[in-house]
Amino acid sequence: MAGIGLEPREGFEWSRVRWAAPNARRTDKCSYCGGALPVDYEAGFWLFSRKGYCATFCKACQTRWWGLECFDEPEDLPEVLDEADEA
Ligand SMILES: [Zn+2]
Cα distance between residue 69 and residue 9, in whole Å: 14
Which ranges of 1-87 would DSSP assign to H, the alpha helix? 59-66, 80-86
The model scores a pTM over 0.75: no
Domain boundaries, the chain: 1-70
- Closest C-alpha among 57, 61, 59, 56 to residue 71: 59
Kindly give the distance from the C-alpha atom of residue 3 to the centroid of ligand 1, in angstroms, as a whole number: 24
- Which tens digit of pLDDT belongs to each residue from 1-50? 445 577 899 999 999 999 988 877 777 899 999 999 988 887 667 888 88
Kindly give the distance from the C-alpha atom of residue 74 to the centroid of ligand 1, in angstroms, as a whole number: 25
SS3 16: helix
pLDDT for 3 equals 54
